[in-house]
Structure 1
Amino acid sequence: MLRGHYRKSLLTFLIFASLPGLIVGGVLYIVSKNQIETELQQVHDEQFVQTVETMDEQFSYLEQSMAHWAFDPQFTENLKNLDFANNYQEIHEIYRTLLVMEGSNPLIGRVELYLREPASVVFTPDRYDRLTPERSEPYQALLSAEKSLYWSGGNGTVMLVHKIHSLGGADPFGALVLYLEKEKVLQLVQTLTPYNQGTSFLYDASKGQWLYTISEGNAPSKLDAVIMEEILRTEKSAETFLLDWESNRYSVTHGSFARMGVEWHYASAAPLTSITAPVIFLSKMILYTSGGLLLLAAVGSWFVSRRLYSPIDRLMKLAGVVKPEAGAERAARNEFELIETHWNHLSRESQILQRRLDEQLPQLREGFLMQLLHGYMYAYTDDELINRIESFGGEARDRRFCIVLIQLLGFSKLEGRFSDGDEGLVTFAAANMVEEIVATFPIRADVVNFQDLSLGLLVAIPSRMSREQFEEAVYRASEELLASIERYLKLQAVICIGRTTASIKSVPVLFEEAKLAAGFRHAGEGNLIIDIEKMDDAGRDHAPDYPFDLERQTLRAVRVGNADEAVAGVRAFVQAFAEAGVKEGALKQGMLHLLGSLLRVVLQSGLNAQQVYEGANLYEQLLHVRESDALPDWFDRKVIRPFIRELSQKQNAQMRQTIEKAAELLRESYRSDISLDSCADRLKISPFILSKMFKEIVGVNFIDYLTDIRLEKARELLRDTDLKISEVAESVGYQHSYFNRLFKKKEGVTPTHYREISRTGG
């Protein structure tokens, strides 16, 4: 009886639950089909218009960018006098500019610079090629066009060309050629139709060429040709019409826009079945589902009634209790008591887990804030980010947000107290001080430890608090923090107070702005509080005079291998900027320029900079050196010493080879009147350097080595031949009288006596 009641109740419930579905499905299928079809088609048209506007803006931006790039000071008539063998810096700048152009827009596939003069050559971002007459013909054709800036190409290869003229000249001598990235443009064209079926394309009406189509292989399909024929026949600039083709009806939307004097047509065709298919499918699914529920109701009621008791039964089995046969009331009471006991046990475990979660919550919150400040949460909305903050115990609703950046200074001066690698320890100590101080804030602030002598504060300002009240609180806390850091850590700090925002998604931008603003600290300046909203542009530095003389002295010392003099030059370089009273940002720019000059010396010396510095990114490392006093030591350890050490090893190997060639030359030419100057001239080396290195490597000076060779040969001739003494002297390059004196001085006997002794064995 009880189960029959369950079946009837369930059957009634299922029938009434199915009726709304049947009604809704019928209404959607019968009444709303046409209305929804119209609205969906309107949405399609609106999306089409927005996509076309985006395409037009993209192509217009490329044209404006090309016009701007073509007037770059590098692309003037000076290119006609470009020396490919010696003008390495100019060629490198061309590479760099082309690389910047190529990466400035995702629609750009490749950028080339073609020069007809001084030679037919084409530049790419990583090389240049001299062109044969056959290969240069396509580029020559580009120069023959009437316009200076125009679009060219077709069938998936479209380029934007800007001819380069001489000043006041009519004939161009080169051209900038920008090739569109085929895949990217096809993706943009694909967005014209949001459905898998249908087609979309771009067509150059002035040249009768297909530019891009989403058909396979970028080849126009029969549908594309039919649509384009209908567009050209109607001669309307923009409209939507219906096209019946191969038993299908398509909604075609098309238009055109002018591109540098040429007219490009665009079109999108979507089958009406693709627009209405979701509505029809949904309606049928509702009808089928509701009908199926009615059929299953009778069968389901039978089986479901047998399982109504199953939740309690499963709970009892989980509790480990078997229901007794008698005493049902007492058993039921015991069952629920046992379930209650089990529930209490689970509650205690839940509390333990919650306590553990609370212990880990600060680390989780700091990790989340770290990702937020670095912009890794860009995909989340403001509400989602606010919910995340509140889940970590923060307050974010009806709040404005501000970033406070703290950078510790003077770590390099703490020798004896801390060593390299203790930056994280010092930052941790400072973070504890900050947390103690911000705990007294009238507002909520979360501390983020970056482990690199810098900290961040994400301050949530209540909407009721004015800017003046906030500034008073944050300035008071900043002054207290500066005093504590100087008293306990013996360090100084710069505190940068960022702008406020009502959008939590803007926090990464404010964080980057605060990091940049910290660079407006004067070089060598101590404790400082910077308020971005109070910064005055008039108070910023003008570019100081660059100390080129000190740079030349430093580079000269590096070239000759004098590390101490080079480091002194860097120290004087930094001092010159400090005396000029520049801010830290201007000092960093100067040091980056000096680093570039030193790396250029490395390249000129024939060494591989990647090998010398083991692939390190020196520019990034230099940007992380915040203290001006630490800059000379960084240049000494990271740049100058490794280069001089590698250069010395290379020069020693080269000089050893040169000395070996000199010794071989002496052994071959000892009979002639060879001298130190003539030998140095033949080896293309300075006589002074040859004499010095000969002594260091061989162990004797140049003249003594030559004398030993000649006397060794003279002893051989005296022992093994009957030549006269004068003939022996002449054979080894000496005059008779000088030979006698020299031989006696070196051997202790005259040449005649030596011959007698060597033959008699006496």
Structure 2
Amino acid sequence: MKAMLRDRGTFFWKSLMLVLVASCLPAMLIGISIYYVGAHTIVRELNSAHKVQMTQTIQRFDDYLSNLENYCALLAFNPGVDSTLNRMDFAQQYHSTRNLFKTLMLMKGSNPLIKDVALYLKESGSIISDYLGVRTLQTAKDRQLASSLLNTDKLTFMTDLQLDALPETSKVVAIKLSDQNGRAPFGAFFIFINQSMLDRLVGSSATGGGSAFLMDDSGRLVTNDSSADPQLQRALKDAVMRGASSEDTFVYGYGGAAYSVSHQELSRLGRKWIYVSATPLSQITAPVTSLSRIILIIGTCGLIVVLLIAWVTSNRMYRPIQRLINRLQPGKEADSGPNNEIARIETHWERQMEERMALQTRIEKSLPSLREMFLLQFFQGKYTGLSEEEMRGKLRQYGWRTERRKFAFLVLQLHGTIPPDRRMTDKDHRLVAYAAANIMEELTETQLEHGQVFPFHDSSIAALLVLPPDLSYEEAHRHAADFAQTVLSTVGGLLRMQVTVAVGRLKESLLETPEILEETRKALRYRQIGEAWQLVDVHELQQQGEETVQFPFVLEKELIHDLRMGLEEQANIHLRQFVSTLRDDGGTELWIQQGMMKLLGSIHEAVLKSEINPSVLFNGEHMYDELLQIRDPEEMIRWFQSKVIRPFIQRVPKSYNLQMKDTVEEMLEQLHELYLSDISLEYFAEKSGVSLSKLSRAFKQVTGENFVDYVTRLRLAKCKDLLVTTNLKIGDIAETLRYNPPYLVRIFKKYEGMTPGQYREKHAEPSQQH
């Protein structure tokens, strides 16, 4: 633990102190605010509540006195009590006396402050009550004192009554009784006050060492609180009498304690009374003190919890920083101050940012190469599983925006120099192709938002164009065609080369770009041979439709005849005428290449008919692939002369001279007239004076097939003509051809793949089918 704390730097301790201050300060401020603001508010509220309580107590006491006062007023006007009671014999008039006692007893229970109710009759000097019975005032003093009570001006008043006839001095409320004529009062009701009840009622508001008492306006105490300090009562009485405060409630200090004193005057029973109540402030604020202690205890506990949480939080927050510090390799960061973790991380971060920027620069420089590699692999079919959105996402990673864009391909092909008679080596071709690719890349970067150039090994260069967004098909196609024209004129003008540029169709899907690339590359073969700069538009090619062409079959046949006869010079002449005819007829590279492929196939057939092994003759080379790679007609002629004509003629036997050639040709003229007769090779050998074997070899060398096959082919040609143009039966046609019918059917099926009847049904004119 100590070692771990020693390893921590200044940032940890500063952070810990900050967390502690941030965590504890609000709690401390809240606790202090609650203690002071809350305590004062509670004291104020408690004082207010105490005042309300005092007011309610005084009001309740006032209600008792008011009730007593109202009761006295009712007694003064009681119709059942009149002056005749002075002449009543209470002993003899038993029933009347009993009714009077019942009345007095009912009066006594009407108010808790009433201890007893007595009736005083002046003339008889009697006092009557259910408690005292009927007593007669015996002494002159008692008679004079009782009589003096009736001489006051007040109808109802309260006084202290002390008679010898009574057991003790009592506070009574006297209600004078007068007859209906309103003459001098004949007596009075004495209502004896229940002193203990009055003391309890007044002293009920005194709590916790306080005092409550009632006094008259002269300062004489009416109630007695035995539980209270007499000196406190006297001090309070003096303070109230001399007007210590102009307010009904004030704070009075006595004996080192503070008291909340409330007083109020009451005017009841014919005089003024003063109600005084004093309660210690400590008693009032006792709940606040308890609450404050609870707040302090809770605040202290909360502070301890906050300290623990701050410690745990600081450690948790510092843990990632500690991991970063541990991951930093020591010795690489600069001196960043005395063990300052943030400064060390900042130094390491700056170094990482520098490396990141360098890496970002290298990535940006390598993006074109990475994009080119990715697109090449895509065009080669290595990402066929990608969806359109995934493909666009890949290109976004390589810096292209492809949304709402159309795509097109340009393919540029270099053919030769201007003028065309200058020969170039393979190295020259590579250098020129590299220069053309650089020119296309520069044009693509300066004139298009996005574009990628792909050089190929056959000196052709493709460029994928990403056209501006939100263009119509016609506008986008015109934009691509204009760019292609710029590439054509720039590359051709700078390099002095024969250039063909093909513009492919537009597509909105990236997944279809491999198809338009292949289609555009094929479109290069539609260039017109002989033109220096050509622009081939695939869209226009598709709109041109089909055109009829004428293939030079006669020249092909003469060329093969020259090969069979070993006439190399004549064969070369016919070869040039053959290529010239193809150029004049179709004119496109594709047509010329297709015609040369057809010628190569015919020569290959002649090689096989001459019983020469093609693999040995051509040294095992794939002649069709080699020819397919050649685009220039002159190159094709040179290739045929060196790779086909010369090797073939070198393998042809030299024993057959022109005389044998004339003999065979004369024989062929006669054979076309006599092939329907019984004629044989022996006939012509005997007629020309040439041996049968020599004539047979010469015939095959000139025609490419033996005598029997040649005659059979002539007769079958006649048979097909008769089948189509006449209604002759198969037997009649067989007889004409000098064949029996079964043999004709068998040999016809061998050469044509169907019977004569099937051939007639397939090729006969409608008029002959009915």
User: What TM-score range do you get, normalising by the shorter chain?
Assistant: 0.3 to 0.5
**TM-score, normalized by length of structure 2?**
0.41
**TM-score, normalized by length of structure 1?**
0.41
Of structures 1 and 2, the larger Rg is shown by 2
